[in-house]
Structure 1
């Protein structure tokens, strides 16, 4: 089902800045979305909004007349109480329109931002009810750049539980940690946000509002919005994958050219190779899409996994997490002749698996799949898989298949003991995509699962076809994984501490693999 998004902005803006803002709206990735635009034209002396709307049936302009003066110069932007609550009323108008007209999302954005083309589609993929894309600004020329999101209160940039006394050194350290966190690609829970925010239908239905809370003394309508939202049971998130460029001062437009160059450079790193499926084409509804997350897999098991996959898949989507070797080239070489989409992260998100899994899922969804089969680069089926999987894909009344995964310690033996018994449990590996189904994820940075957690609400089947997990076979791989888990999960919050320790057991119990 196509998602409907209303992009909304109150506009009182200089012509040179608004021109760039509107250009970024034109370039937004709108694939798979019905994207409409609404602007409140607040006494602008130019006609850029009218030009933007010309020839489009998805743009509305609400013109108002007021005597307010909004001053912004090379120092800062000057706000006063009357102006703040006028803008709050504009934003409430957008909230009302989006809810009453049945939109799935409302995207509220300030008119002095140049958006990355992927902004809205990425924010939707996060499945958060309220999430802002982070940008950085020198609020005054002599200050350091700071984000438009914050941890708590008016604009506190550090976490401080109530009743805890902090020294100046503590405050400085925690502020630095908060800013360092926001400087890395990720999605983080915050206490306040604004200016570039996606709201879900759920948030709209809860009654979020920018109206003043009369007994709260914080300055600015965004503070009142955020407090009310949390009181209504919603959570606030900040995302840092596609930061927009903030045109806070006209003098900063000179840097916008470099920002645009970076966008173009990143887009060239995302390759979409479309090849005729030829002999691989099968009956509509049976298509199997392989989805795979890879990082530094050259010289390991990737060739072997993909060579087998070629025998049963129709297309592949691969997310490379900033590999430093020839992983991407291996994928292209082995899958030559197949429809292949490869996306390459510029910076690794290896320490936050949920972001990678959700991005890979969205890539698979964008390829218009029937079935999505998610394998890691070291997982291979037993030899009869091609015939079995093609047959399974023809089933019309099932929505997932679960298989057993055996942790191979050698080519001929798998491990079995109290901590190594994954092969006794069936887990989904192949899922039929259902447009319109409200998929939900386990939001943890590690061990989040490769599929949304609620797919088991649909009808599926445990199947005897088996998978081999080859990634434990080499001692150096086991050592690497041991230290990785100890680093990412030192308190074993997402896994089992004893299992982590057992990875290096010198005498594990091994069972022979019996071919069928």
Structure 2
């Protein structure tokens, strides 16, 4: 059994080396679509071509970044169609699986009764020691998230713009597919590393800055719900621990 990892990227030089170091540990095939990066993103991807089975495509996004101007489902369905493995994992470039994923993956893929897997989604907030968790009226931050499915059974993205949604064959609900939750976290590092903000992040005013310009304000008090955090009690994946050690050595 084999796994294809698919991910779209745009100006992700902070995360792409970490991401590639992680997914090359378990992916048989990596399909990346670049939306027109002008930083070192593509350079990093090219540097990994000799280390892994990476297929890089370009689909330049036009219009307002990370908004409904982007035809994101078209890009993601393109990658789904190109995938040749038995299973597909859709990961964003700032998402890193816990190290245990590589250990459990063969068992997951051999389970003939399952078509879909979901994983605990852990969102780091402000730094690598803090996570954001659910609060009343704010259900986005600590849910299980669907990130892996069986290839070749008609699962694809609904034809919509940004915030595209997976659906089963014939447009039926993905949640009707045989599925289970796997107790291996998927860590989201976007709000803890690099600039910690990009255009489109602040649609809900969680970061307190207009149009995502300037420094994110992690002390911001939202008008409609509490922004609740907790101390991270787990262990970071090896690639993140290596990054921390490297940064400490440079300080």
Query: TM (normalized to structure 2)?
Result: 0.74
3-state DSSP of counterpart to 1:445: coil
1:426 aligns with 2:162: no
Greater RCO (Cα-Cα under 8 Å, separation 6 or more): 2
Contact 2:124 2:132 in 1 (8 A): yes
Counterpart position of 1:355: 71
- For residues 26 and 6 of structure 2, the distance between their equivalents in structure 1, rounded to whole angstroms, comes to 13
Alignment equivalent of 2:38, drawn from 319, 324, 348:
324
Counterpart position of 1:297: 12
Which has more radius of gyration?
1
Residue correspondence of structure 1 range 260-339 to structure 2 within 5 A: 286-298=1-13, 300-339=14-53
Counterpart position of 2:131: 414
- For residues 446 and 362 of structure 1, the distance between their equivalents in structure 2, rounded to whole angstroms, comes to 15
Contact 1:322 1:348 in 2 (8 A): no
Counterpart position of 2:230: 511
State the Cα distance separating 1:390 from its structure 2 match: 3.0
Question: Which has a greater percent of helix?
Answer: 1
- For residues 198 and 23 of structure 2, the distance between their equivalents in structure 1, rounded to whole angstroms, comes to 28
Contact 2:123 2:142 in 1 (8 A): no
3-state DSSP of counterpart to 1:311: coil
3-state DSSP of counterpart to 1:427: strand
Change beyond 3 A, Cα 1:364–1:337: farther
Residue correspondence of structure 1 range 474-493 to structure 2 within 5 A: 476-478=195-197, 480-483=199-202, 485=203
- For residues 353 and 381 of structure 1, the distance between their equivalents in structure 2, rounded to whole angstroms, comes to 30
State the Cα distance separating 1:411 from its structure 2 match: 0.8
State the Cα distance separating 1:336 from its structure 2 match: 2.7
- For residues 445 and 356 of structure 1, the distance between their equivalents in structure 2, rounded to whole angstroms, comes to 5
Alignment equivalent of 1:469, drawn from 161, 174, 188:
188
Counterpart position of 1:243: none
3-state DSSP of counterpart to 1:511: strand
1:501 aligns with 2:205: yes
- For residues 474 and 420 of structure 1, the distance between their equivalents in structure 2, rounded to whole angstroms, comes to 23
User: What stretches of structure 2 of length at least 5 have no aligned partner?
Assistant: 209-217, 221-226, 236-251
**Cα RMSD, aligned residues only:** 2.6
Alignment equivalent of 2:86, drawn from 354, 370, 381:
370
Contact 2:132 2:142 in 1 (8 A): no
Counterpart position of 2:244: none
State the Cα distance separating 1:477 from its structure 2 match: 2.9
3-state DSSP of counterpart to 1:461: strand
Query: TM (normalized to structure 1)?
Result: 0.38
- For residues 107 and 70 of structure 2, the distance between their equivalents in structure 1, rounded to whole angstroms, comes to 31
State the Cα distance separating 1:291 from its structure 2 match: 0.2
Counterpart position of 2:103: 387
Change beyond 3 A, Cα 1:419–1:478: farther
